[in-house]
Amino acid sequence: MSKTKRRTYDDSYFNYGFTCMIKSGIKVPQCVLCMKVLANDSMKPHKLKQHLRTKHAEHMDKSKPFFEAKERELKRAKLDSTGSFHIQAQAITEASYALSYRIARDEKPHTIGETLVKPCLLECTQIILGDTAAQKIADLSLSESTVKSRIDDMTADIKRQVIEKIKSSPMFAIRLDESTDVASILQLMVFACYVHRETIEEEFLLCSPLTETTTAADVMNMVSDFFSKEHLDWGKLIGVCSHAWLSY
Ligand SMILES: [Zn+2]
């Protein structure tokens, strides 16, 4: 059995309007004018020239820069086609965030994504829209760890936005409160009140466990650490209101 000799691409083939692409692991010539892909054994000047002469006679006299510009257009077109794949992947990620947000908002366990939400979505999509659509839903990640990381991302993003708003507000106030979490640990809650687009907004700013004592000094230290970490300006703080247990 004789081994077929593979031809390699030469940069001078650009003069005939051909670039090189890899098809099934083999280098093949591709016409930058009509995008036609020829076989590897057509990688010879006379074959490429023949294509140019018979298919694109009007470009016979064009030089390399012309064909190189055409190739850039070709690459851009290819990017657009992978761009649509990118948009779909983006939509799937967005859906994963939207559903994680709902899970957090309704205070449901993070496991509900993979144990209930996704199976329901898959089943409905398959019944109503068919297998192709269901295949897209199959790519949606709603595992416990994904849901947790999405919620963490959104929390960090919201916190960043609130801090940015506080920083751009001419003044702000804070309200200190307490809450007990599921493990019966006392949590310090801090809400911030600030001016944004000429209206007063109040947002949750900080939640931190008060593990040891809960004296006013402990709370003050916690708030102070947070202010330094986030570079919040004490000079703009015009009011602090607190729960009775923090007031001494
Ligand atoms: Zn062509």
* pLDDT computed for residue 34 by the predictor: 84
Residue pLDDT, tens place only, 141-189? 999 999 999 999 999 999 999 999 999 999 999 999 888 777 777 888 8
Distance 11 CA to ligand 1 centre (A): 17
Angle between helices 64-105 and 144-168 (to 10 degrees): 90
Give pLDDT, residue 103.
96
**Do 16 and 50 fall into the same domain?**
yes
Q: Are residues 181 and 238 in the same domain?
A: yes
Any domain includes 174 = yes
Whether residue 187 is contained in a domain is answered as yes
In a domain, 195, yes or no: yes
Instruction: Quote the ligand 1 centre to 74 CA distance (angstroms).
Output: 12
Q: Give the single-character DSSP code of 239.
A: E
Residue 242: give its domain's CATH number: 3.10.20
What distance in Å separates the CA atoms of residue 155 and residue 147, rounded to the nearest whole number? Answer: 12
Decide: 130 and 139 in contact? Cβ < 8 Å. no
Strands (E), the chain: 18-23, 26-31, 172-180, 186-196, 199-209, 237-242
Q: In the prediction, which pLDDT does 244 show?
A: 57
Q: Is residue 204 part of a domain?
A: yes
Number of domains forming the structure of the chain:
3
Question: Do both 139 and 173 map to the same domain?
Answer: no
Compute, in angstroms, the gap from residue 100 CA to the centroid of ligand 1: 50
Q: 131 and 92, same structural domain?
A: yes
Token reading at 8 = 């390699």
Ligand 1 centroid from CA 78, angstroms: 17
**Confidence tier at 248 by pLDDT (50, 70, 90):** very low
Q: Is position 2 within any domain? A: no
In a domain, 77, yes or no: no
Same domain flag for 181 and 233: yes
Q: How far is the CA of 4 from the centre of ligand 1 (A)?
A: 25
Q: Decide if 94 is inside a domain.
A: yes
pLDDT, tens digit, for every residue of 63-87?
A: 889 999 888 887 776 666 555 666 6
Render pLDDT for 181-239 as a digit per residue (tens, 0 to 9). Answer: 777 778 888 999 999 998 999 998 988 888 766 778 888 888 999 999 999 999 999 99
Whole domain around residue 181: which residue ranges? Answer: 169-246
Taking a 5 Å cut-off on Cβ, the residues next to ion ligand 1 are: 31, 33-34, 36, 55
| Co-location of 53 and 93 in the same domain | no
Residue 30 Cα to ligand 1 middle (Å): 8
Is position 194 within any domain?
yes
Label residue 17 by pLDDT band (50, 70, 90). very high
